[in-house]
């Protein structure tokens, strides 16, 4: 049963409670610590003034706020206290750490590429089958969730977008019907960095920041869809705008999108696995020959036919088995590289080095140009994503930096928005490589993706009070820091269960979808209104509605569910403690057992 009042409470505190006086203790924002007469000792890292500082200006600067960027203090000896041999060793160690960092980052990016291939082997043909039902795709809501599910299955918005472009080019799908699918692909691509954030669950505050830094992307995409999908369904604004752009220019076909980062990563990833992505496109476009083909590439046809030499080129294993093997191996490498990257960053970013880096990344330009900083960050995010040609790679790379406190959540937000724009530019270049008769439709879909993200930025970034995704991500970060299992539930709910439920209701007919969705929306609005009145004017409410205590506790608190989830782990912890005691005094054992039992039943 979905805990709707608790979910709406979380959203409510994120959206409505803007000041410190009205925020609960677990919804504190980032404070700005500025001394009235700053000295060199007071000079610290200042978060971006153009964001939450305007919201939390009344916050106590001396409060212990988990959202504050941590001071990464130098734990070793000072440079002046080290002899010549020690200085040489420290320099050599720093150089070695740098090259190790580059190596682990390279392996991290390659593991993301292999992970995408693994997901395509496991679910690629199913994704192609989903796209075959054009009648379902004509429903905007169904098209949206299909875009989400397919992108999650293939772990690549570029792949799902290319399938849509192929279907539009071949006449199987109208441009207007493809727009919601592109919106869904935009949502599905954010699942990767959410998975990456879960690797930092060991430290609560790191996990709080990392998960918020990852899910700010999710909230931006979902909120943009909530506004723009109905607008597009009613007015067709994105379709009409891109149609005007296409008709206004004599656009000629160009070259394929340039290979930048792929030039470095392809030699390793292609030695592990190569996929024939035209198979998924063939299934989606109804090619019967593609159904019996394997996704694993054996022959590479360019100007001459060459033989693929990757590990699985001549294995007798089916696609599913190879996909599961690669999925397990790539996840293991991904997690290992991420843990090692975080460890190295924690050891390298200490003392003055950390202060300088955090100042450069998180401080705004001087007044009156502070507002420009965020837009420059958007351009940096777009440029970096264009270089690596993957928004998943870029956002997954900055997520651990947010976790350890090098990048603030306020700075990660515009970088993420820029990444959303950057991932559309490669699609535009790829569309321009289409043949003349297919160029217009291919380019129009790519431009719909581009203008969708531009419209989202105009909705959720220009002014501090419009940066709702930051507040929602903070609220979710606080929730997952307290109940770490909730991160897995969120991932499962937002990217699998909720899209599948909406897809099922959509396929049953719009009457069923409306009949189920409307009562839920009405209930959610009612809960938000009651929350608002409970805070600001409780005297106008009936006494029973002044708190949610009249409901069963599982409907307004996660504590009961948390006890159920953690009781098994708590019993394991109790057994471990008994073993560590190594005592024959049963009174001590009984006391320990009683304490454990009370902690799980209170």
Domain interval for residue 596: 559-601
Same domain for 479 and 578, yes or no, is no
Distance in angstroms between the alpha carbons of the first and the last residue of the chain: 23
d(CA 466, CA 414): 13
pLDDT value at position 15? 45
Both 466 and 570 in one domain: the answer is no
Residue 152 has pLDDT above 70, yes or no: yes
Same domain membership, residue 569 and residue 502: no
Collapsing DSSP to helix, strand or coil, 307 comes out as strand
Q: Evaluate whether 220 touches 381 at the Cβ level (below 8 Å).
A: no
Report how many domains make up the chain. 2
For residue 144, give the 3-state DSSP assignment: helix
Answer yes or no: is 317 within a domain: yes
Bridge partners (DSSP) of residue 307 are 299
Helix axes 84-131, 157-169, angle to 10 degrees: 30
Residue 538 placed within a domain? no
pLDDT at 223: 93
Rounded CA gap, 342 and 206, in Å? Answer: 10
Specify the pLDDT at position 456. Answer: 94
On the question of pLDDT at 102 being above 70, the answer is yes
With bands split at pLDDT 50, 70 and 90, how would you rate the model's confidence at 364? confident
Q: What is the 3-state secondary structure (H, E, C) of 349-395?
A: CCHHHHHHHHHHHHCCCCCCCHHHHHHHHHHHHHHHHHHHCCHHHHH
Report how far residue 312's alpha carbon sits from residue 331's, in angstroms, rounded to the nearest whole number.
18
Is the model more confident about 400 or about 251?
400
Residue identified by tokens 């941590």 is 70
Per-residue pLDDT at 457: 94
Name the residue with higher pLDDT: 536 or 66: 536
478-487 pLDDT tens trace: 999 889 889 9
Same domain, 591 and 479: no
Tell me what pLDDT residue 230 has: 92
Instruction: For residue 306, list its beta bridge partners.
Output: 300
Alpha-carbon torsion (123, 129, 132, 135), positive or negative: negative
Residue 39 inside a domain? The answer is: no
Report CA 367 to chain centroid distance, whole Å.
32
Query: Cα(197)–Cα(575) distance, rounded to whole angstroms?
Result: 30
For the segment 478-506, the average pLDDT, to the nearest whole number, is 89
Question: Are 152 and 220 contained in the same domain?
Answer: yes
The least confident of 94-98, 126-130, 304-308, 392-396 is 304-308
589 and 474 both lie in a single domain: no
Q: What angle do the packed helices 204-235 and 485-492 form, to 10 degrees?
A: 20
DSSP 296: B
442 and 591 co-located in one domain: no
- Residue 19 CB partners (closer than 8 Å, separation 6+): 55, 56, 58
- 160 and 221 inside one domain: yes
- 74-93 per-position pLDDT tens digit: 556 666 677 777 778 878 88
pLDDT at 490 (0 to 100): 92
Q: Give the model's confidence band at 281: pLDDT under 50 very low, under 70 low, under 90 confident, else very high.
A: low
pLDDT band at 278 (very low <50, low <70, confident <90, very high): low
Instruction: With respect to residue 256, please indicate whether it lies within any of the assigned structural domains.
Output: no
pLDDT value at position 222? 92
Q: Pick the more confident residue, 29 or 191.
A: 191
Q: What is the pLDDT of residues 167-192, one digit of tens each?
A: 776 667 788 888 998 999 889 888 88
Residue 114 has pLDDT above 60, yes or no: yes
Tell me the pLDDT tens digit for each residue of 341-359. Answer: 767 776 666 655 566 666 6
Question: How far is it, in rounded angstroms, from Cα 501 to Cα 2?
Answer: 13
Return the pLDDT at 53.
39
**Alpha-carbon torsion (84, 86, 89, 91), positive or negative:** negative
pLDDT at 590 over 90: no
Q: Give the Cα separation of 149 and 158 in Å (integer).
A: 14
Residue 82 in domain: no
343 & 487 share domain:
yes
**153 lies in some domain:** yes
* For residues 154-177, average pLDDT: 74
**Taking 90 as the threshold, does the pLDDT of residue 390 lie above it?**
no
Q: How far is CA 299 from the centre of its chain?
A: 36
Name the most confidently modeled range: 59-73, 191-205, 487-501: 487-501
Whether residue 530 is contained in a domain is answered as no
- 153 closest CA partner among 187, 114, 120: 120
Residue 111 lies in a domain: yes
- Mean pLDDT, the chain, whole residue set: 74
How many percent of the chain have pLDDT more than 70?
Answer: 63
Tell whether 494 and 583 lie within a shared domain. Answer: no
Confidence of residue 45 (pLDDT cuts 50, 70, 90): very low
Q: HSE (CB half, 13 Å, CA atoms) of 16?
A: 18
Most trustworthy range by pLDDT among 98-107, 381-390, 463-472: 463-472
Query: Any idea what the Cα angle at residue 516 is, between residues 474 and 559, rounded to 5°?
Result: 40
Report yes or no: 34 and 62 within 8 Å, Cβ to Cβ.
Answer: no
CA atoms within 13 A on the CB side of 82: 12
Residue 319 has pLDDT above 50, yes or no: yes
Are both 489 and 352 inside the same structural domain?
Answer: yes
**Preceding peptide of 411 cis, ω within 30°:** no
CB-based contact 119:154 (threshold 8 Å): yes
In angstroms, the Cα distances linking 468 to 14, 51, 351, 574 are: 8, 11, 33, 42
pLDDT in tens, 420-474: 898 887 667 767 766 666 677 778 888 898 999 999 999 999 988 899 999 999 9
pLDDT score at 422: 87
Nearest Cα to 109, choosing from 326, 412, 394?
Answer: 394
Instruction: Decide: helix, strand or coil at residue 301.
Output: strand
Write the secondary structure of 418-482 as one string of H (helix), E (strand) and C (coil): HHHHHHHHHHHHHHHCCCHHHHHHHHHHHHHHHHHHHHHHHHHCCCHHHCHHHHHHHHHHHHHHH
Pick 257 or 111 by higher pLDDT.
111
């Amino acid at each position: 049963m979905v805990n709707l009042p608790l979910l709406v409470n979380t959203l409510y505190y994120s959206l409505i409670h803007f000041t410190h006086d009205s925020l609960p203790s677990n919804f504190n924002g980032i404070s700005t610590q500025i001394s009235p007469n700053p000295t060199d000792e007071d000079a610290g890292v200042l978060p971006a003034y153009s964001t939450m500082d305007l919201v939390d200006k009344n916050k106590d600067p001396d409060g212990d706020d988990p959202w504050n960027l941590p001071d990464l203090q130098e734990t070793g000896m000072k440079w002046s206290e080290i002899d010549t041999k020690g200085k040489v060793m420290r320099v050599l160690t720093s150089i070695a750490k740098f090259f190790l960092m580059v190596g682990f980052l390279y392996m991290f990016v390659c593991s993301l590429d292999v992970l995408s291939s693994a997901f395509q082997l496991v679910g690629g043909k199913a994704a192609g089958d989903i796209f075959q039902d054009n009648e379902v795709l004509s429903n905007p809501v169904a098209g949206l969730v299909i875009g989400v599910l397919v992108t999650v299955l293939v772990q690549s918005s570029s792949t799902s977008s290319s399938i849509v472009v192929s279907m539009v080019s071949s006449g199987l799908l109208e441009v207007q019907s493809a727009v919601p699918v592109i919106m869904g692909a935009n949502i599905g691509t954010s699942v990767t960095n959410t998975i990456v954030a879960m690797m930092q669950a060991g430290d609560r505050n790191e996990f709080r920041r990392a998960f918020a830094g990852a899910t700010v992307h999710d909230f931006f995409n979902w909120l943009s869809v909530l506004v723009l999908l109905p607008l597009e369904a009613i007015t067709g604004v994105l379709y009409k705008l891109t149609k005007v752009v296409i008709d206004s220019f004599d656009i000629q076909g160009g070259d394929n999108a340039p290979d930048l980062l792929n030039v470095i990563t392809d030699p390793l990833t292609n030695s592990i696995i190569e996929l024939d992505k035209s198979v998924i496109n063939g299934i989606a476009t109804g090619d019967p020959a593609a159904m019996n083909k394997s996704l694993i590439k054996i022959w590479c046809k360019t100007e001459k036919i060459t033989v693929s030499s990757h590990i699985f080129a001549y294995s007798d294993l089916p696609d599913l088995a190879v996909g599961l093997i690669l999925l397990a191996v790539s996840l293991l490498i991904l997690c290992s590289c991420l843990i090692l990257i975080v460890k190295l960053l924690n050891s390298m970013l200490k003392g003055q080095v950390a202060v300088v880096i955090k100042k450069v990344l998180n401080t705004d330009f001087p007044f009156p140009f502070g507002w420009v900083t965020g837009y420059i960050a958007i351009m940096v995010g777009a440029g970096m994503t264009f270089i690596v040609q993957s928004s998943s790679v870029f956002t997954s790379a900055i997520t651990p930096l947010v976790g350890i406190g090098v990048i603030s959540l306020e700075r990660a937000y515009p970088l993420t928005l820029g990444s959303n724009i950057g991932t559309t530019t490669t699609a535009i270049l790829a569309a321009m490589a289409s043949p003349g008769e297919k160029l217009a439709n291919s380019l129009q879909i790519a431009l719909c993706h581009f203008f969708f993200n531009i419209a989202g930025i105009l909705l959720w970034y220009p002014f501090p009070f419009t940066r709702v995704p930051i507040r929602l991500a903070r609220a979710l970060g606080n929730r997952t820091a307290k109940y770490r299992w909730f991160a897995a539930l969120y991932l499962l709910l937002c990217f699998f269960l909720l899209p599948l439920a909406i897809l099922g209701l959509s396929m049953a007919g719009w009457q069923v979808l409306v009949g189920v969705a409307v009562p839920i929306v009405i209930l959610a609005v009612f809960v938000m209104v009651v929350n608002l009145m409970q805070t600001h004017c409780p005297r106008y409410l009936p006494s029973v509605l002044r708190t949610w205590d009249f409901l069963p506790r599982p409907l307004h608190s996660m504590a009961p569910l948390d006890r159920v989830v953690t009781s098994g782990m708590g019993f394991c912890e109790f057994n471990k403690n008994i073993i560590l005691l190594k005592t024959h005094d049963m009174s001590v054992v009984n006391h320990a057992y009683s304490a454990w039992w009370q902690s799980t039943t209170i």
